A = this chain, B = another copy of it.
Amino acid sequence: MTARCITLLTDFGTADGYVGEVKGVLATLAPGAVIVDISHDVRPQDIDGARLAVARYWRRFPPGTVHLVVVDPGVGSGRAAIAVASGDRLLVGPDNGVLSPALFAVDAQVVALPVPPNAAPTFHGRDVFAPVAAQLANGVPLHELGDAWHSAIRRRTPEPTKRQDGAVQGEVITIDRFGNAVTNLYARADGWLEVASTMLPVVRTYAEVETGTRVGVVGSTGLLEVAVRNGNASHDLHLSRGAMVVWHPSRRSS
A interface, CB within 8 angstroms of B: 2, 5, 7, 9, 11-21, 23-25, 27-28, 31-32, 34-45, 49, 52-57, 59-62, 65, 73-78, 120-123, 126-127, 174, 176-179, 204-207, 217-220, 225, 230, 232
Contacts and interface: CB of A to CB of B under 8 A. Distances in A.
A207 B2 contact: no
A122 B217 contact: yes
Contacts of A42: 15
Contact of A17 (B23, B52, B232): B52
Nearest to A122: B220
A206 B45 CA distance: 14
**Assembly stoichiometry (copies):** 3
Contact of A176 (B9, B16, B178): B16
Nearest to A211: B73
Contact of A20 (B9, B31, B62): B9
A33 to B, nearest CB: 10
A20 B45 CA distance: 19
